[in-house]
């Protein structure tokens, strides 16, 4: 999961998070990140990871789509506490994941600007046997203008709502490969993020023992 990092301490992700890596240099306040840690100070990466791999039959929270399949998350932090990062950081993250045993690289991120360096990193990972999955984008436009989703042989994923209709925000078009539920999805988030959401009057579930969960939407 090449994203904002992952909350390895979340009870619903216990035993599924490997030691990660941080490619990005510092947060929005200028505080340096430890490259050997990949803590999530934004929440997006933890939310994505829960959708993929939250434990099932543990009487906690949610169940990831992997179910009982043995899945491990390699967290690679390329986005900061504001959910932003450079193309260079993303390129480094893709290459790191490919070089460190990733079978699938999930890129729930994107830009409207193509990058030859990024495309080369995608091809590099594909040549190492990685399946690359990327968000189609949340701008309600043609996915052909979203990268890395529209690079060759990248699986581009859009969002549908509870009625199986395209989510209003989901990008679309001929290069969209598949869609999956993406509107108002409950998944794992770090406690600090949950408390921020709660303070803003947003829906939050969970507690210190069971972990925390937020309701977010996206592709």
Q: pLDDT by residue (tens digit) across 108-118?
A: 999 999 999 99
How many C-beta atoms surround the C-beta of residue 113 within 10 A?
10
Average pLDDT of span 38-60: 97
The C-alpha atoms of residue 143 and residue 29 are separated, in whole angstroms, by 33
Average pLDDT of span 190-212: 96
The label of the residue with tokens 């309600």 reads 140
Average pLDDT of span 32-48: 97
Are the beta carbons of 90 and 60 closer than 8 angstroms?
no
The C-alpha atoms of residue 164 and residue 160 are separated, in whole angstroms, by 5
The C-alpha atoms of residue 83 and residue 210 are separated, in whole angstroms, by 25
Beta-sheet strands, E only, within the chain = 2-3, 21-22, 76-77, 104-107, 131-135, 155-160, 178-181, 185-189, 204-207, 211-216
The C-alpha atoms of residue 164 and residue 156 are separated, in whole angstroms, by 17
- Over pLDDT 70: what percentage of the chain? 100
Q: What is the pLDDT of residues 135-194, one digit of tens each?
A: 999 999 999 999 999 999 999 999 999 999 999 999 999 999 999 999 999 999 999 999
Beta pairing partners, 155: 133
pLDDT of residue 117: 98
- Nearest partner of 73 among 93, 102, 37, 96, judged by Cα: 102
The radius of gyration computed from the CA coordinates of the chain, to the nearest angstrom, equals 16
Q: At 129, phi and psi to the nearest 5?
A: 95, 10
Q: Which two tokens stand for residue 140?
A: 């309600």
Angle at 141 between CA 139 and CA 142, to 5 degrees: 135
pLDDT of residue 15: 94
């Amino acid at each position: 999961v090449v994203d904002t990092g992952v909350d390895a301490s979340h009870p619903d992700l216990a035993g599924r998070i490997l030691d990660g890596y941080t490619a990005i240099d510092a947060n929005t306040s200028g505080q340096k990140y430890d490259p050997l840690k990949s803590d999530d100070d934004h929440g997006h990466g933890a939310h994505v990871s829960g959708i993929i791999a939250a434990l099932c039959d543990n009487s906690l929270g949610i169940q990831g789509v992997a179910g009982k399949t043995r899945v491990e998350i390699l967290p690679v932090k390329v986005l900061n506490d504001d959910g932003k990062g450079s193309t260079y950081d993303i390129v480094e993250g893709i290459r790191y994941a490919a070089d460190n045993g990733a079978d699938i690289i999930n890129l729930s991120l994107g830009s409207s600007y193509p990058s030859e360096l990024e495309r080369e990193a995608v091809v590099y990972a594909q040549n190492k046997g990685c399946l690359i999955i990327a968000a189609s984008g949340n701008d309600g436009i043609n996915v052909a203008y979203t990268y890395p989703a529209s690079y060759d042989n990248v699986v581009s994923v859009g969002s549908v709502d509870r009625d199986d209709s395209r989510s209003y925000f989901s990008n679309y078009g001929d290069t969209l490969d598949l869609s999956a539920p993406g509107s108002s999805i409950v998944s794992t988030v770090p406690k600090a993020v949950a408390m921020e959401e709660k303070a803003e009057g947003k829906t939050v579930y969970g507690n210190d023992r069971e972990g925390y969960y937020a309701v977010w939407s996206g592709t």
